Amino acid sequence: MFNECLAADGGLNLSKYEHPSDICVDGMILNYASYFCMDEPRLNRLVDHFLYEQKPDGGYSWDRETQVSDPHTTICVLEGIGQYCRSGGRHRLEDLEVCQTRAVEYLLSNGLFIDSPDKRFRKLAYPFRYCYDLLRILEYFTINTIPFDTRMEPVVAWLQSKQRKDGLWYLEHEHKGNVHFVMEKVGEPSRFITVKVLTILNHFELLSERIDD
């Protein structure tokens, strides 16, 4: 993939046409590549690419021309950087720490987009694909041990409120895209989402009393 798709800007162009790489896709590639092939030396070029492309507000956007970030691209880049660091990446770690802090602050300063007009942000979905939502950002905080911030409280409360009477969390939305098979159905209990939520709440030590019952 790197041999065929590496672009001049350090990102990857997976299409058949000549154009700049997509930062959102680059973030997902760094995530997967860091997990499966951490010894690939060209990952360092991706790291440099993200450090260069960060927007003034701290986040990221697929649009190279805008100065305003979007949460979809930002979460994909954050997950990529997080996996790179957890897998033992050592290239420009201090810069990556600053980069992560700025990107997290971009999301927190926007209330983690809990009041966004995009209702998908407040629906439980999995797989995430490229889409941002509240469950996904809380899982990112958990996996990467981001310290608790009081601005997370409304989102954690929202997540707790999603628990049904049977003690489980349900699949509420499915992002469009091809699948090899259907794992779970919308409107039914979700094993994937439930275990994610329990891990998140346990991390923040905010497990609901209903779970203990």
Q: 105-125 pLDDT, tens per residue?
A: 999 999 999 999 999 999 999
| Whether residue 103 sits in one domain with residue 7 | yes
- 15: pLDDT confidence band, cut at 50, 70 and 90? low
In 10 A of CB 119, how many CB atoms? 8
**29, 13: one domain:** yes
First to last CA, the chain: 50
pLDDT at 206: 59
Are 97 and 126 within one domain? no
Percentage of residues in the chain with pLDDT exceeding 90? 79
One domain, residues 16 and 45: yes
pLDDT (0 to 100) of residue 210 = 42
Per-residue pLDDT tens digits for 143-193: 999 988 999 999 999 999 999 999 999 999 999 988 888 899 999 999 999
Q: Would you put residue 58 in left (φ > 0), alpha (ψ -120 to 50) or beta?
A: left
* Domain co-membership, 101 together with 1: yes
Q: How many domains does the chain have?
A: 2
Judge if 105 and 158 occupy the same domain: no
Stretch 39-58: mean pLDDT, rounded? 94
Same domain, yes or no: 8 and 102? yes
- Which residue, of 109, 141, 165, is where some domain finishes? 109
> Mean pLDDT, the chain, as a whole number?
91
Is the pLDDT reported for residue 208 higher than 60? no
Position 16 pLDDT exceeds 70: no
Question: What pLDDT is recorded for position 118?
Answer: 97
Are 86 and 184 within one domain?
A: no
Of 74, 109, 144, the residue that ends a domain is 109
Tell me the C-alpha distance between 145 and 25, whole Å: 24
Residues 64 and 39 placed together within one structural domain of the fold? yes
Domain that holds residue 166: 116-213
Asked if residue 171 and residue 90 are part of one domain, the reply reads no
- Residues 60 and 124 occupy one common structural domain: no
Of 109, 125, 157, the residue at which a domain comes to its end is: 109
Task: Give the rounded percent of residues in the chain with a pLDDT score beyond 70.
Answer: 87
pTM value is: 0.90
133 shares its domain with 64: no
Computed from CA positions of residues 125, 108, 113, 71, in that sequence, does the dihedral angle turn out positive or negative? negative
Cα–Cα distance, 55 to 60 (Å, whole number): 6
